[in-house]
Amino acid sequence: MQRQIAAKDLMVHPQLRTKDMPVGSQTVKVPALPWQVEWEDKFFSPAPGIDAQGKKLRTEFGASAQQPVSKTH
């Protein structure tokens, strides 16, 4: 029987390239493209906060003015 590969296995694979990405107050490793170019940044731009650009996106794409539903955990 062939072993199933899980996402956690892929994140430690020796051929996987990752780049750091600021998310809130933490930094996470995100899969990067498999090739490199000399002008490539060493990290990804920070992830925006939840609904940080929501108003602008709703305006641009013509979505209703309804506010997003917040979920608490």
CA distances from 64 to 50, 69, 70 (A): 18, 13, 16
51 domain residue, yes or no: yes
- Res 22: pLDDT: 92
2 domain residue, yes or no: no
13 domain residue, yes or no: yes
Helix (H) or strand (E) holding 58: helix 54-60
42 domain residue, yes or no: yes
Domain count for the chain, please give it: 1
Predicted confidence band of residue 65 (pLDDT cuts 50, 70, 90): low
67 domain residue, yes or no: no
49 domain residue, yes or no: yes
Q: Could you report the per-residue pLDDT of 1-54, keeping only the tens digit for each?
A: 677 778 788 878 888 899 999 998 999 988 888 888 888 888 888 888 888 888
Domain of 51, in residue numbers: 7-60
